[in-house]
Structure 1
Amino acid sequence: MKRINLTQHIRLASLGLIAGAGLATGSLAQAQEQDTIKLAYVEWSSEVASTNVVAAVLEQAGYNVELTSLSAAAMFQALASGDADAIVAAWLPTTHADYMERIGDQVEDLGPNLDGTKLGLVVPAYTDVDSIAELNDNADRFNNEIIGIDPGAGLMALTEEAVDTYDLDLRLRSGSDATMVAALSNAITNEEDIVITSWTPHWMFARWDLKYLEDPENAYGGAEQIHTVVRNGLEDDMPDAYAILDAFEWTPDQMGEVMLMNQEEGSDPAENAHKWVEENQDVVAQWLDN
């Protein structure tokens, strides 16, 4: 089954591609009668993995699914306005706290879908700097900059606060997950020092030997969870989809499997998600058995 997105879901249904994909409804006619559910996400490796897996499971249950990649701010606004039905990408209680405070009465938090997250500043393991407090004394080794991700991300807001807390002389440079990883890869290839904003789970920790800088001032807070959040009214409108989203929960290792698959050259996140779902039907059954 191919990913059903904003431009494809009607055409794919009419071609009958949904019918042969093992949908829970068992027929194309039933699938076409199902509602379309809209999932929003941010272009973080972790959220690309989880959102595509959830989309594959919802498709297996007979739903048409639209996926939309947005900035963090736009993602939460889309959820509040009803332009998106659900996200599985809310990092709480810290990273996305401001967004949730603004829209809290317009959405429903279904709780964590993954435990064991961490945020902070990361360097290659060979770098002999161990704490954020040591960065100023070694700023020139890092070109006087911290390599960040998209400017609307909660992690960037936390890093701006960390820069103030530690009175850092390094400039926070915004970009994206992809540009951050590219800069890290280039630095490691050349055995250079680099400091980046990062989080766990992320596939790069499986590829390279990295370490978090100690955070004695606790600027990044403690461990977080990734939550599933839906718009108000979804349970009434699409109770089966709501139940699947409510039951969705997996581990960092399981997410890591999908993230690594997505890093293979030429791979497609939607196809990888479908492959993982097919190979882990025992796990998926727990999400569908509600």
Structure 2
Amino acid sequence: MTKQPMSHSLRIAGLALAAGSALAAGTVQAQDKGTVELGYVEWSSEVASTNVVRAVLEQAGYDVELTSLSAAAMWQAVASGDSDAIVAAWLPTTHADYLERVGDEVENLGPNLEGTKLGLVVPEYTNVDSIDELNANADTFNNEIIGIDPGAGLMGLSEEVVDEYGLDLDLRSGSGATMTAALQSAIQNEEDVVVTGWTPHWMFARWDLKYLDDPKNVYGGAEHINTIVRQGLKEDMSEAYAILDAFAWTPEQMGEVMLMNQEEGADPYENAKKWVEENQDVVQEWLPES
């Protein structure tokens, strides 16, 4: 007879515990806004912007997963819905082919950064000022142009530059890191080098550089970086959509983050969180009013 009350008490305690657990689970579920998948290319500018957007979305209560892809795969991922968004679309020139292929399958939210530029870059001390002077000085540059990853839109445009200008220099593919390493080595040895470059990029803050004139305008004029999202994101995650739509900053602000990322042992995600924390006045402009 003495065991029954104990059993009854345990049963009540168990029910109370289950009810509390259910309530707690419901609270967690109510606060769970879901996961936002962001694709990006391994350009220093896009590493900076994508990690900042990640930190802002996390501040708003979302989980965020980043996937590094080639430019072509990045665009296709948004079109297929494997990625929710990218903040790394260089338009109207660099990624024009990708936009043409999948434009009907994605939503273009417009520029998040204005004032970008593409072209061939040399140290300021180099006695060449225009692309059409390269052939006459090919030996100075070891008969080569140091490029980046072969799938990049910048490389496609640079191939057009080689054809349009009839350049006798070989366009070497590699990565953003190998390009800046070659640039650094040449500058340290006061040698001439020509690389494929773009603004914004931390290398312009670190070294005195100049773009070569492009009289044929193959690289086009100033570009902008746009935010592209998958179809249906507005309906599925309206707040995340609103944040992505509002995200916009300046080359100077992006440059701050890129320079932080060049420090030895730097963690782009941690740097992005630090920048977001220290620039809440800017961040609040991207967050929906509560």
- Normalising by structure 1, we get a TM-score of 0.89
Matched letter for residue 87 of structure 2: V
Matched letter for residue 242 of structure 2: A
Distance 1:137 1:75 in 2: 39
Map 1:189-228; keep pairs closer than 5 Å: 189-228=188-227
Cα deviations across residues 188-231 of structure 1 (Å, max 9, x unaligned)? 01111000000000000000000000001101000000000000
Shift in Å, 1:33: 2.0
Shift in Å, 1:289: 3.0
Distance 2:103 2:81 in 1: 13
> Which residue is 2:120 aligned to?
121
> Which residue is 1:166 aligned to?
165
CA contact (8 A) 1:73 1:99 kept: yes
CA contact (8 A) 1:31 1:62 kept: no
Shift in Å, 1:30: 5.5
> Which residue is 2:286 aligned to?
287
> Which residue is 1:104 aligned to?
103
Q: Structure 1's 132 and 232: CA in aligned 2 closer, same or farther, altered over 3 A?
A: same
Distance 1:40 1:31 in 2: 27
Distance 2:128 2:30 in 1: 55
> Which residue is 1:176 aligned to?
175
Distance 2:65 2:106 in 1: 19
> Which residue is 1:3 aligned to?
none
Shift in Å, 1:35: 1.1
Answering whether residue 38 of structure 2 is matched by residue 39 of structure 1, we say yes
Distance 1:121 1:129 in 2: 11
> Which residue is 2:262 aligned to?
263
> Which residue is 1:23 aligned to?
none
Distance 2:75 2:107 in 1: 12
Map 1:266-277; keep pairs closer than 5 Å: 266-277=265-276
> Which residue is 1:235 aligned to?
234
Distance 2:281 2:65 in 1: 25
SS, match of residue 108 in structure 1: strand
Bigger radius of gyration, 1 or 2? 2
Shift in Å, 1:32: 5.9
> Which residue is 1:67 aligned to?
66
Matched letter for residue 198 of structure 1: G
CA contact (8 A) 1:119 1:199 kept: yes
Map 1:20-35; keep pairs closer than 5 Å: 29=28, 33-35=32-34
Distance 1:30 1:123 in 2: 54
CA contact (8 A) 1:31 1:64 kept: no
CA contact (8 A) 1:79 1:107 kept: yes
Cα deviations across residues 225-257 of structure 1 (Å, max 9, x unaligned)? 000000000000100000000000000000000
Distance 1:63 1:219 in 2: 41
**Which segments of 5 or more consecutive residues in structure 2 lack a partner in the other structure?**
1-26
Percent identity reads 78
CA contact (8 A) 1:39 1:67 kept: yes
For these two proteins, the number of residue pairs brought into alignment is 264
Distance 1:99 1:140 in 2: 35
Q: Structure 1's 218 and 265: CA in aligned 2 closer, same or farther, altered over 3 A?
A: same
Cα deviations across residues 24-46 of structure 1 (Å, max 9, x unaligned)? xxxx8258621100000000000
